[in-house]
Structure 1
Amino acid sequence: MTTESSPRPTVAVVTDSATGLSRAMAESLSVGGGFLRVPLPLMVGDQIFTEIDDPGVNEKLVVASAEGRRMTTSRPSPGAFATAYESLAKEGYEHIVSVHLSSELSGTVDAARASARGAAATVSVIDTRTVAMAEGMAVIAALDAARAGGGPAEVEAAAGNAARRARLLFYVPTLEALARSGRIPKSLAIVGQMFQIRPIATVAQGRLKYLERPRQEASAVKRLGELVAADARQALEEDRTTVGESGRVVVAIQDFYGSSLADHLSDVVAKEFGGDAIIQRSTVPPVLAVHAGLGPVSVVCEPASLVHGLTSTVA
């Protein structure tokens, strides 16, 4: 964070709403200035919503899902990015680092690059090759570097490092929504339903990748808890290698109407790591819930020293 005696940062950070930053966290991160989010539009039938502007969008998606209505997502328009970049340039920022979800999952990076070419400030567009709070960790690391007085290269490097070191796990209770959105073949969803498969996935090389396919919910929950603990342990060891015994791990848990599983995972982490873990809770981004349906849970583990801006808001 900057102080009155600190030089004003010259680098700003822009991101999209696929991070799933909670409203409180986004507001906290915005206090220092030089930070904007561009919403990803959601289409329910012929209606368009944005999860940033519409606090009731989650309920709308639940109703639409129950009614079997068509739901899709879209990348932001280049104009939305142009507006964000122009606003920050007018505030005096000389460079903007625009940090976004994987280009393998969305055209958001392309839209950002199209707007960057005509921006008043210079713009670097970062493809994090990930999503949800793994992307969010990159955003927070970039903000930390910018507010510490870092130049464009340092801010870009901070974002890239945090994105690479974030460990993302994603639990999908049913494959039906993924098939409906075209993310997986319908035949796979039918097989998954027959055998009660509850996949555990991650994002690798920018794309959704299934790690394991346990059968039955109880088996999946148990295995997911084991994988989360292992990821948290590795991130904690990395942080202690960097900062010594004071090192900690940030565990960001997001759910979309899957709070019982999210609560269980939070308890698993708290029991094993105690004060060495900083647990942060928020909602799976609605733009992901459109494709994953009701009940998905994501967990991201990150060495705490990489995301000071996050630890200062929740510690």
Structure 2
Amino acid sequence: MQKIALIVDSACDLSLEVIKEKNIRLLPLRISYSHGEYKDKIDISADEIYGNLEKEVPKTSLPSAEDLEKILIDLENEGYTHVIAVTISSGLSGTFNSIRLALEEHPNLTSHVFDTKILAMPEGIVALEVANLIKEGKSFEEIVSELPTIRKNIIGYFTVNTLEYLKKGGRIGRVAGTIGDMLNLKPIVTVDEEGIYYTVCKARGRKQSISKLISFLKDELKENKCNVWVLHGGALDEAKSVLESLKGLNNILSLDISQISPALGVHGGPGLLGLAIQKVC
């Protein structure tokens, strides 16, 4: 009989409560300051990151090999036979490859590492779907075969106040050169098929950039029923305002707010706003 475990990295933006409830194994990214290192979501919060950005912009790095090895050994000791790992885009992080290589050293665990080519709550949605399929008793093979379809129905968009932090973190992708801060142009960013950031369009000022985000959602809602999450990085009040503005739209099945993880906050900076959209039918 198959006993299937689910591993996710901390870029998925699922809350610790949901991770515990769904029996998900969390692999934290690392956040490094000059004075020490922290485990994403475990040792440091997003608000702490934003509060210190003017003093120091920390570095982010892969989950530690020790943390990953401990998870895999624990799974073996607990009698798990299969592992599905859901990861942040390989175009933005080496986490996918590090998990894949580590699992090769554990042949007793039949595994599949899924590169979502996305991040934040869109990645988290994939993980939630996998967790639900495990709970329903689906086989490893059935779940793996459904992953591409799950992923195809998820998209995310976000806008930032400044590209400063994406630049400093080396995560600028194909957004470079598309914005003029002096002109108050804000990019609407998503990821391409390779999982790399690119600008869909630009808007002048904060209000217009938020309107553009909502217009992309409205386009999806014309033909699909959707679950929607409002994403934010240190912008809870604005996220609540956006959520309220969406409540009257047809075809939204569920609506929630998600704060991005501390590690992603390093790169997005304070004021990030976005939407995660899951097409259901």
Q: TM-score, normalised by structure 1?
A: 0.81
Which residue is 1:293 aligned to?
Answer: 269
Which residue is 1:197 aligned to?
Answer: 185
Deviations 1:29-84 (A, max 9, x none): 22xxxx21100011122421123312x422321232122x1311101123322211
Matches for 1:242-257 after TM superposition, within 5 Å: 249-257=226-234
Matches for 1:60-209 after TM superposition, within 5 Å: 60-67=48-55, 69-119=56-106, 120-184=108-172, 192-205=180-193, 206-209=195-198
Question: In structure 2, what is the Cα distance between the partners aligned to 1:233 and 1:265?
Answer: 19
Question: In structure 2, what is the Cα distance between the partners aligned to 1:211 and 1:278?
Answer: 25
Equivalent pair of 2:92/2:171 in contact (CA under 8 Å) = no
* SS of aligned partner of 2:143: helix
Which residue is 1:41 aligned to?
Answer: 30
Equivalent pair of 1:76/1:108 in contact (CA under 8 Å) = yes
Structure 1 segments unaligned to the other structure (5+ residues): 1-7, 237-248, 306-315
Question: In structure 2, what is the Cα distance between the partners aligned to 1:273 and 1:264?
Answer: 18
The offset of 1:234, in angstroms, is 4.0
- The structure with more helix, counted as a fraction of residues: 1
The offset of 1:233, in angstroms, is 4.2
Question: In structure 1, what is the Cα distance between the partners aligned to 2:243 and 2:222?
Answer: 14
Equivalent pair of 1:256/1:296 in contact (CA under 8 Å) = yes
Equivalent pair of 2:41/2:262 in contact (CA under 8 Å) = no
Q: 1:189 to 1:60 in 2, by over 3 A?
A: farther
Q: 1:234 to 1:264 in 2, by over 3 A?
A: farther
Question: In structure 1, what is the Cα distance between the partners aligned to 2:52 and 2:150?
Answer: 35
Question: In structure 2, what is the Cα distance between the partners aligned to 1:279 and 1:166?
Answer: 15
Question: In structure 2, what is the Cα distance between the partners aligned to 1:286 and 1:96?
Answer: 26
Q: 1:293 to 1:164 in 2, by over 3 A?
A: same
Which residue is 1:263 aligned to?
Answer: 240
Q: 1:57 to 1:131 in 2, by over 3 A?
A: same
Matches for 1:279-290 after TM superposition, within 5 Å: 279-290=255-266
Aligned residue among 257, 273, 280 for 2:250: 273
| Alignment-mate amino acid for residue 241 of structure 2 | H
Equivalent pair of 1:255/1:262 in contact (CA under 8 Å) = yes
Which residue is 1:310 aligned to?
Answer: none
Q: Does 1:12 align with 2:5?
A: yes
Equivalent pair of 2:122/2:155 in contact (CA under 8 Å) = yes
| Alignment-mate amino acid for residue 7 of structure 2 | V
| Alignment-mate amino acid for residue 48 of structure 1 | E
Moved segments of 4+, more than 4 Å: 187-191
- The structure with more strand, counted as a fraction of residues: 2
Equivalent pair of 1:99/1:138 in contact (CA under 8 Å) = yes
Equivalent pair of 1:20/1:284 in contact (CA under 8 Å) = yes
Deviations 1:199-258 (A, max 9, x none): 11111111111101111122112222212232344441xxxxxxxxxxxx2112221111
* SS of aligned partner of 1:199: strand
Percent of paired sites with the same residue: 23
Equivalent pair of 2:179/2:187 in contact (CA under 8 Å) = no
Equivalent pair of 1:250/1:303 in contact (CA under 8 Å) = yes
141-150 or 189-198: bigger deviation: 189-198
Q: 1:252 to 1:191 in 2, by over 3 A?
A: closer
Q: What RMSD in Å do the two structures reach over aligned CA positions? A: 2.3
| Equivalences, count | 278
Q: 1:201 to 1:289 in 2, by over 3 A?
A: same
85-94 or 134-143: bigger deviation: 85-94
| Alignment-mate amino acid for residue 216 of structure 1 | G
Equivalent pair of 1:175/1:192 in contact (CA under 8 Å) = no
Question: In structure 1, what is the Cα distance between the partners aligned to 2:177 and 2:36?
Answer: 27
